[in-house]
């Protein structure tokens, strides 16, 4: 039965999203101008933030780019922010955008090496406890030298490879696994339970790895974008940054590892799923068949990718160039020495990252609203006017943590360190207190933010990846699985801020491991 033109417009709006979701977005678009013009712009700003978080939470119902983008366009149109402010945010975060455009694509061209390495780890470690720890610790180590987004892109690529191997057999598609009929028998043995267990198995490994990126990323100045910003404001180099963070980051790292073991051992919060025997056999057959059929050209590609991996780690650890530029060099080197020269073959590498890049650009539009409407200013000023220094440190950690759970931790860290820098320049705090607050800000933005995908860009990238719906990793499930880590990391971090940060920093001064900085050096650093 033909439908009217009006019905066609309604049906086309947000495509296959549920009707209730479409109605919710329309209601948001109607309410926002009314609140902004007739009630209070400040309330309208927080309402917009809550609505955008709603679109992120419903990512599996509708990709957040479209509904979130409509909200952002309306916010600009009614004057909640300006195109110039949005452009400023995009320019200020160009390294993150370049990272997504080029580094994630670069990892795509190294997937053969990554799949080779992680297949050996997956099949070589039979204990789920040890395998979970291996993923968590490996992700933490890599995140200390690489950006967390890069590391999670690696893990996603590996998990997609694992799932694709299984799917070819489970769906009965021809594959290079075998040339006999043994897999027809395996296919009949693959049950729905195997599929659900395999999804749960991959979910747990991905969550352990995602948390690992936070555990390692907080430790060094290159682990997260806001770390580098905070280090620049404070005038700290790589070694001093690591030492100053260590009273908090080292205890949190070990407690995070214990949490990993406990949730796996007791099989709580969605963890504990084992790799099904049938699936393990499929992966082992794939590994054996791949090894037998590997040509000299294939071996040459693995060697080239290994050398490129060394360049990647070295370039990022020494910060030889912006992360995205190093990613572009990886694309050029990997494709040049692997014989990939067709344009359509290059395009596949960008399919995963560019939708998320566009979503992040919309996210920075919301950040522009937060800045123009000064949504965080009352919180920051309230904390700065507390006279007790220890209480001030704890509140800065808590305030950063809570805001990072609902907003981007890069933005929160940038805003807070800028405000503290201004307080230092106006003589409201001492340089030593500034240094302590910088540590509290960095750890506060990195640790509690694992609570939701909103705070951690790596988690948000995982949630909006093509892999998430395959393994049934929804927003709510991510929050639930992250909960034990959130509680442990946040509370241990807060305890260390209160009990260890000041005395340990004084000890580091006495040992000569760190030095006192002058106000002048901080201002000069800020100027650069």
pLDDT digits (tens, 9 = 90+) for 300-309: 988 998 999 8
Residue 519, pLDDT score = 52
Residue 523, pLDDT score = 44
pTM listed for this prediction: 0.77
Q: Is residue 176 scored above 60 in pLDDT?
A: no
What gap in Å lies between CA 17 and CA 12, rounded to an integer? 10
What range does the domain containing 362 cover?
Answer: 81-175+182-524
Tell me whether residue 56 is in a domain: no
Tell me whether residue 331 is in a domain: yes
- The 3-state secondary structure of 485-522, one letter per residue: HHHHHHHHHHHHHHHCHHHHHHHHHHHCCCCCCCHHHH
* One-character DSSP codes across 292-338: HH--HHHHHHHHHHHHHHHHHHHHHHTT-S-HHHHHHHHHHHHHHTT
**All residues at 6 or more sequence positions from 430 whose CB lies less than 8 Å from its CB, including other chains:** 424
* One-character DSSP codes across 2-41: ---HHHHHHHHTTTTS-HHHHHHHHHHHHHHHHHHHHT-H
Residue 147, pLDDT score = 67
Tell me whether residue 156 is in a domain: yes
Tell me whether residue 65 is in a domain: no
Lookup: tokens for 89: 């945010």
Contacts 24+ apart (CB under 8 A), 421-428: 421/233, 421/522, 421/526, 423/384, 424/519, 424/522, 425/519, 425/523, 428/384
Tell me whether residue 41 is in a domain: no
**All residues at 6 or more sequence positions from 435 whose CB lies less than 8 Å from its CB, including other chains:** 234, 244, 505, 517
CA-to-CA dists, residue 470 to 1, 166, 412, angstroms: 34, 12, 32
CA-to-CA dists, residue 384 to 234, 380, 399, 437, 517, angstroms: 18, 6, 11, 10, 21
Residue 32, pLDDT score = 93
Tell me whether residue 233 is in a domain: yes
Angle at 93 between CA 91 and CA 96, to 5 degrees: 130
Lookup: tokens for 103: 């580094």
Tell me whether residue 193 is in a domain: yes
Residue 499, pLDDT score = 92
Residue 173, pLDDT score = 53
Q: pLDDT tens digit string along 9-27?
A: 888 888 888 889 999 999 9
Higher pLDDT, 109 or 256: 256
Give the pLDDT mean for 201-224.
Answer: 89
Residue 482, pLDDT score = 93
What gap in Å lies between CA 113 and CA 67, rounded to an integer? 37
Give the pLDDT mean for 54-71.
Answer: 84
Tell me whether residue 190 is in a domain: yes
Q: For the beta carbon of residue 309, count every other beta carbon within 10 angstroms.
A: 18
Residue 508, pLDDT score = 92
The total of structural domains in the chain comes to 1
């Amino acid at each position: 039965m033909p439908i009217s033109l009006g019905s066609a417009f309604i049906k086309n709006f947000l495509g296959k999203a549920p009707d209730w979701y479409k109605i919710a977005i329309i209601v948001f678009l109607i309410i926002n101008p009314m609140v902004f013009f007739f009630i209070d712009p400040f309330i309208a700003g927080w309402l917009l933030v809550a609505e955008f978080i709603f679109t992120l939470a419903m990512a599996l119902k509708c990709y957040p780019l479209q509904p979130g983008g409509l909200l952002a366009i309306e916010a600009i149109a009614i004057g909640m922010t300006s195109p110039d402010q949005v452009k400023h945010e995009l320019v200020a975060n160009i390294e993150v955008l370049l990272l997504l455009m080029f580094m994630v694509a670069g990892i795509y061209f190294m997937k053969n090496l990554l799949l080779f390495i992680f297949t050996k780890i997956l099949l070589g470690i039979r204990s789920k406890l040890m395998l979970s720890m291996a993923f968590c610790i490996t992700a933490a180590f890599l995140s200390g030298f690489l950006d967390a987004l890069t590391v999670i892109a690696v893990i996603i690529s590996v998990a997609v490879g694992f799932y694709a191997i299984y799917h070819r057999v489970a769906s009965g598609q021809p594959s290079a696994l075998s040339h006999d009929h043994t897999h027809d028998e395996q296919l009949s043995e693959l049950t729905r339970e195997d599929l659900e267990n395999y999804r749960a198995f991959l979910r747990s490994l991905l969550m352990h790895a995602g948390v690992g990126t936070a555990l390692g990323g907080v430790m060094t100045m290159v682990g997260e974008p806001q770390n580098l910003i905070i280090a620049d404001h404070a005038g700290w180099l790589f070694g001093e940054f690591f030492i100053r963070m260590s009273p908090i980051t080292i205890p949190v790292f070990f407690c995070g590892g214990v949490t990993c073991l406990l949730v796996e051992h007791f099989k709580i919060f969605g963890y504990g799923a084992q790799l099904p025997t049938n699936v393990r056999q499929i992966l082992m057959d794939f590994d054996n068949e791949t090894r037998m059929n590997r040509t000299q050209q294939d071996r040459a590609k693995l060697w080239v990718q290994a050398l490129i991996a060394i360049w990647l780690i070295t370039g990022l650890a020494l910060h030889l160039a912006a992360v995205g530029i190093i990613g572009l060099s990886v694309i050029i080197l990997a494709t040049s020495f692997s014989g990939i020269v067709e344009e359509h073959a290059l395009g596949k590498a960008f399919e995963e990252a560019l939708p998320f890049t566009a979503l992040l650009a919309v996210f920075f539009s919301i950040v522009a609203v937060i800045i123009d409407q000064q949504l965080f200013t009352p919180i920051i000023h309230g904390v700065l006017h507390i006279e007790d220094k220890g209480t001030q440190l704890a509140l800065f950690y808590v305030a950063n943590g809570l805001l990072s759970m609902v907003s981007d931790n890069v933005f929160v860290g940038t805003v807070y360190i800028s405000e503290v820098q201004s307080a230092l320049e106006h003589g409201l705090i001492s340089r030593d207190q500034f240094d302590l607050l910088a540590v509290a800000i960095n750890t506060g933005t990195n640790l509690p933010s694992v609570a939701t995908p909103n705070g951690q860009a790596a988690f948000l990238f995982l949630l909006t990846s093509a892999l998430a719906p395959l393994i049934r990793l929804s927003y709510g499930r991510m929050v639930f699985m992250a909960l034990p880590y959130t509680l442990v990391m946040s509370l241990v971090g807060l305890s260390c801020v209160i009990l260890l940060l000041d005395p340990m920093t004084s000890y580091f001064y006495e040992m000569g491991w760190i030095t006192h900085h002058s106000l002048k050096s901080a201002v000069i650093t800020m100027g650069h």
